[in-house]
Structure 1
Amino acid sequence: MVRIYVDEREKSSGVPEILRGLGVTVIYRRLDVGDYIVSDRTAIERKTADDFIKSLIDGRLFDQCRRLSDVYEKPVLLIEGSLRRALSNSSIRRNAVIGALTTLIVDLDVHVLFTYNAKESAFAIKSIAEKEQRSGRSYVVLHKKPKLSSLREWQLYILQSLPYVGPKVAQRLLETFGSVYRVFTATVPELAKIEGLGEKKAGEVVRIIRAPYTPEKERRSQARSIIDYLLKNEENTSSSQ
């Protein structure tokens, strides 16, 4: 039986009910990240084409996808509906949208999927869930703060909040380094030796641990600057043609 955790704010979309009609067990929760959690490593953010354009303009898109990418190894952005129609009702240009999608795919490692309507979205979500859960990744991690009673449980939980670090990798890290502190001070080459990480993933873990904190207002400003850059680049391209 396929089981999917669904953000309760998705009820009005009609997708969860279609999933139920397809035999999927739908469990509603107030999710902090993503709209559909299908496995410990894969979460899906669903947006209508109109909402995609709006979130691109106001900066929410990059913020949401960055958080999705930080928490889940296989983040998916599902865009439902006609982008062509959504663009016709917006001031943003096609090249800016292409630039934004490129940024999501190349820089944030977000998989982008397009569907025509809610029914197609439900079929796509179910297909992803089936593939993930048949491959042995049937348990779903909501990444919410649990009730922990022992020091060991807290240590494992803290490490599992990092990207690419599930229960097994967290245990290997503690067995290798001996403490959470030692893991946090490890170098990329040291972390890369851990089975399940490798150099690229280790580099991302170290980047997150050592990066200075950016307040929410500043993050939105940075996202907004990306939009401005894409729009300006599009204008320059158009004027040169």
Structure 2
Amino acid sequence: MPECSRPRVYVDEREKASPIPRLLREMGAAVIYTVAGVGDYIVSDRVAFERKTMHDLAASLFDGRLYDQARRLSEHYEVPIILVEGDPAELERVTSRALQVKLALLAISLDYSVRIVWSSGPEESAKIIYSVACREQALKQRPVVIHRKPRLEKLWMQQLYVVQSLPGIGPRLAERLLEKFGSIEAICRASIVELEKVLGYERAVKVYRVIHAPYTSSKAERE
């Protein structure tokens, strides 16, 4: 790995549960949490990583999130990278539609110029991110810039954005939910049975729980 003095890595808040930020700090990186909006690990003005396990890769393809994430990465960063953790040869064990996943990755590479990089696990992922951060910041002398999501000027864009924040909901499912129920308010009033008709049972339960469970702050959880 290239040597450098304390490279900065901006990490999306959603990655706090991952071991990678800790591993990056142990390697000497300065880890700065942010609400990135686009990308999970940002190491320069032109390079950002979206990290996925193989399970998340398959799930994000079939619920529509993968293409949306690839498109936004390519719109905001010159060198967008999807970092997949796992052995490609094991993909058949993760999903019965392994070929469809491989073809989707090829399409993303061709259509959005997204680099697909595989790692054996979090340790190797951290080494890859650290190495690229050093290369960009020390060797190329590039600044770190967070490119946030563009302004959502249309009401329907704002509505889709809100619904996509629900667990497991990508652009296609968000549009289907709004078309079926007519408004965000109606989605929030829907029962699990009603949500299941669009989302399937497991995803419907997760969405219903997020909407209806009492709020518990992170501070309260630590006490």
TM range, smaller chain: 0.5 to 0.7
Whether the 8 Å CA contact 2:38–2:148 is kept in 1: the answer is no
- 1:9–1:221 Cα change, 3 Å: closer
SS where residue 79 of structure 1 aligns?
Answer: strand
1:135 CA displacement: 3.2
Tell me the CA shift for residue 88 of structure 1: 1.7
CA RMSD of aligned residues (A): 2.6
Q: Which amino acid aligns with 2:101?
A: V
User: C-alpha displacement at 1:15, in angstroms?
Assistant: 0.4
Query: Where do 5+ consecutive residues of structure 2 fail to align?
Result: 1-5, 151-155, 162-169, 176-223
Aligned partner (choices 128, 139, 142) of residue 138 of structure 1:
142
Secondary structure at the counterpart of residue 76 of structure 1:
strand
1:85 equivalenced with 2:90 (yes/no): yes
> Alignment length, in residue pairs?
156
User: Can you list the C-alpha shifts for 1:58-96, whole angstroms capped at 9, x where unaligned?
Assistant: 1100001110110001100000123443432323132x1
Sequence identity, in percent?
Answer: 44
Q: Match for residue 6 of structure 1?
A: 11
CA contact (8 A) 1:80 1:116 kept: yes
Could you tell me which amino acid in structure 2 is paired with residue 63 of structure 1? D
Q: Is the 8 A contact 1:38 1:129 kept in 2?
A: yes
Which aligned segments of 4 or more residues in structure 1 are displaced greater than 6 angstroms? none
Aligned to 2:108: 104
Q: Give the secondary-structure state (helix, strand or coil) at the position aligned to 1:140.
A: coil
SS in 2 for 1:44: strand
Could you list the runs of 5+ residues in structure 1 that have no partner in the other structure?
Answer: 146-160, 162-213, 225-241
**Conserved 8 A contact 1:39-1:137:** no
**Residues 1-241 of structure 1 mapped to structure 2, 5 A cutoff:** 1-94=6-99, 96-144=100-148, 215=157, 216=160, 220-221=171-172
Q: Which of structures 1 and 2 has the bigger CA Rg?
A: 1
